[in-house]
Structure 1
Amino acid sequence: MSAPGPAPGSVAERLNWLFDVVVARDPATGAWRPYTNAEAGGTVVEQLRAGATAEPGQLAALAEFFGVDPAFFGDDKAVVDRIRDELLIRALRECGFLSYLICRMSVPTATQREQLRRAILRERAVIGTLRTWHDDRRAEEEPGHDGGTTGMTSTPMSISQLHGLCRKLVDDLGLNTPFGPHDLCDRLAKLRGRRIKVKATDLGGTSGVGHLAPSRDVDRIFVERDSPAPQQSLVIFHEVMHIVRDHLALGDTFTCGVGAAEDPAAGAYADWREWEAEVGARELARLAQQRPKPNRLPHAAGSADHSIAGAFGFTYGR
């Protein structure tokens, strides 16, 4: 049985967290790696990470080494949390993300930060080197989105408008029902000329939560790998609605959506963009499960009988 980790908020927990989030960088190659205990202070740091009591001056020295405000090791929890958020945003930008949204369900702030920490570790393992586009002044002049498909304004759509938008989207993409979320993403990506990558990964067991992470050349959607397929589909449709409605055009580039209500029509959302995405997601999920209409099916061998049979789920052999 493994030993329990350091207590949340302890010096050991904060120090271990820094080793995860703040990394060393090779100035020549851009490759990154975690700092070692030896680089940060040797045996003393190893002992502190294991739970030893800090001596005067040690924490200030560690804060200077990691380039953080010494208040990170202080007693003001609000200040500590603010510093955590600033470091997470910096690390996410280093990974090349323009935005990072956690959507659909209300999760505690501490859980949100843990999910972002996992995301940073996951992305670093994939790309291997820091991305430095954010250091280029041009990045500040370019929008943090590429434009949606509807010319989104700051005025929310009504339920009927959102349902109409979803039906039009399905028609414009040439999707025949039933269809899956991956089919929709593939066709939408081709329409927009911008990739959409969907990945099932470990989000800490938060099966109802979706992550949307746009970077310069791709929109990434993350879903919990252990959640049922229908749940994953709904999450993907939710993130697609954020893309279609160009919700990120309004800023708030690193935010978390307030939790979804049981009935999205009730409007129980602090952020109307989350409400729009959820209403649209449920309509897309409904459309995706519809049986095809006979007049939308190809006429195999010139026979309408094949189209009618297909509408009821029957197929003909060769």
Structure 2
Amino acid sequence: MTAPGSVAERLNWLFEVVVTRDPATGAWRPYTNEEAGGAAVERLRAGAAPEPGQLAALAEFFGIDPAYFGDDLAVADRIRDELLVRGLRECGLLAYWICRIPVITQREHVRRALLRERADTGTIRTWHDADVQPGHDGGTMGMTPTPMDMAQLRELCCGLVDKLGLALPFTPHDLCERLAKQRGRRIKVKATDLGGTSGVGHLAPSRDVDRIFVERDSPAPQQSLVIFHEVMHIVRDHLTMSDSFTCGVGAAEDPVAGAYGDWREWEAEVGARELARLAQQRPKPNRLPHAAGSAEQSIAGAFGFTYGR
């Protein structure tokens, strides 16, 4: 186990994050010690002191600023972030948005996300800003979103449920399916290992699909809230404002008080709670279909009861 921030730790991190492409299969693979410098590199990764000129040569090999191995840890962290962003872009992602998480753990989440993306795609894909843009869902009609207040967000959520024709009660997956059809752009929800962070959600838009990741071990109500939160980012076109890969907001923030550093996160959380409230509502009897011409059946349906055939 190498010490955090040591030369060995930084070098081992590079070997994990900066990869090469197998010319035969097109798949990603890590560089070997031999490719990077042989036995001297292997000793350095185990904690040995660097030889003169060795760190500069390694920086050139990995295509990074030699300051990565310098004494300024803030500079080293900035270079780490740049490498993570570069890796995610190579996976074909337009952005990578991590919600409801303290800033201190963001880099580790992005690193894990990069490893997962590479495992899923297998081969390198490239993209360019000029020819790839996420589709709009009608939330802002393609315009740059401006902040909404709580009343406006609640009205937006109610209007969205009506516009999509969702029957009460509904699930987050029902909402994603209807919204995807309305936008003409797929939304894929996946429960996966996010490090046990049950309140965290990941939103990863790529060329033709918006993917939402939730912690697989979190309770169902928590997963639902996280999915609704990410849906609000989609509905409000928040990611069209930047290509930021993190949003940096802790899960303990108060959406009612508005104690969020980023207004987009506040909107997503307020909207998520409103959607969760709407999703649990029972339909009013006068809005239920009279399948057999019976008002009693509609009333019973409002309370969750059905008649056997």
Same fold (TM over 0.5): yes
* Cα distance in 2 for residues equivalent to 1:121 and 1:260: 24
For residues 210-241 of structure 1, give each alpha carbon's deviation from its aligned partner in whole angstroms, at most 9, with x where no partner exists.
Answer: 11111110001111111111111111100000
Candidates 130, 135, 141, aligned match of 1:141: 130
Partner of residue 136, structure 1: none
Q: 1:8 to 1:229 in 2, by over 3 A?
A: same
Q: Is 2:168–2:282's contact at 8 Å kept on the other side of the alignment?
A: yes
Distance 1:37 1:236, change over 3 A: same
2:182 matches 1:177: no
Instruction: Indicate the residue corresponding to 1:92 in structure 2.
Output: 88
CA distance, structure 1, for counterparts of residue 138 and residue 205 of structure 2: 16
One-letter code of the match for 2:59? Answer: A
Q: Greater shift after overlay, 36-45 or 191-200?
A: 36-45
Q: 2:228 aligned with 1:237, yes or no?
A: yes
Does 2:124 align with 1:123?
no
| Partner AA of 1:56 in structure 2 | P
Q: 3-state DSSP class of the match of 1:155?
A: coil
Give the SS at the match of 2:256.
helix
SS of residue in 2 equivalent to 1:298: coil
Root mean square deviation of aligned Cα:
1.7
1:224 pairs with 2:215: yes
Within the candidate set 68, 75, 90, 1:72 is matched to 68
Which amino acid letter does the alignment assign opposite residue 95 of structure 2? S
**Residue 82 of structure 1 aligns to which amino acid in structure 2?**
R
5+ unaligned residues in a row in structure 1: which ranges?
Answer: 134-138
Shift of 1:50: 2.0
Identity of matched residues, %: 79
Q: TM-score, normalised by structure 1?
A: 0.91
C-alpha deviation, 1:29, in angstroms: 5.6
SS across alignment from 1:213: strand
Question: How far apart are the structure 2 equivalents of 1:153 and 1:116?
Answer: 26
Q: Equivalent residue of 1:96, what SS? A: coil
Q: 2:21: which partner in 1? A: 25
Determine helix, strand or coil for the equivalent of 1:102: strand
> 2 CA distance for matches of 1:283 and 1:69?
46
Q: CA deviation at 1:295?
A: 2.5
8 Å contact 1:261–1:269 — kept in the other structure?
no
Contact in 1 for aligned 2:247/2:262 (Cα 8 Å)? no
2:276 to 281, 285, 305: 285
Give the counterpart letter for 1:145 in structure 2.
Answer: P
Q: Quick one: distance in 1 between partners of 2:285 and 2:101?
A: 38
Displacement after TM superposition at 1:140 (Å): 3.0
Structure 2 unaligned spans of 5+:
none
2:113 is matched by which residue type in structure 1? A
Give the counterpart letter for 1:147 in structure 2: H
Q: One-letter code of the match for 1:106?
A: P
Contact between 1:98 and 1:253, CA under 8 Å: does it hold in 2?
Answer: no
Tell me, in whole angstroms, the C-alpha distance in 1 between the residues paired with 2:132 and 2:63. 29
